[in-house]
Amino acid sequence: MTRQMTEMLKGTLEGIVLASLSGRPAYGYEITAGLREQGFSDIAEGTVYALLVRIEKRGLVDVERVPSEKGPPRKVYSLNTQGREYLEEFWGAWSFLAERLEQLREGGEQACPMSKGAASSRR
């Protein structure tokens, strides 16, 4: 994974994890495995677990301890009302950014407020 991709992922991983929980509750390893299946192959389990702790503390998920056949109980995370509201805000922000980035990509400097005229007036 490139450094640029890693930096972009840092800013969106919280929304990505919440989106993965919007379908059904899951425990940390399931979330990581699901993300890897969707192409996020370089996401470390430790990164996901640290993120789950943060979103739990912020009250975006509910946690249930479920007995495990192998070792201690698993923490199963499910998106709660506050988490769903946060996820809606995330998708709104994502849509806004994606539209603007697409405009920039398609229009080049024409879509950019710092077009040639603006840049030359600063010289």
Percentage of the chain surpassing pLDDT 70? 86
List the structure tokens of 30.
Answer: 């399931």
d(CA 41, CA 34): 10
d(CA 82, CA 60): 5
Q: What pLDDT, on the 0 to 100 scale, is given for residue 67?
A: 92
d(CA 82, CA 63): 14
pLDDT tens for 16-75 read 999 999 999 999 999 999 999 999 888 888 999 999 999 999 999 999 999 988 889 999
- The more confident residue out of 123 and 3 is 3
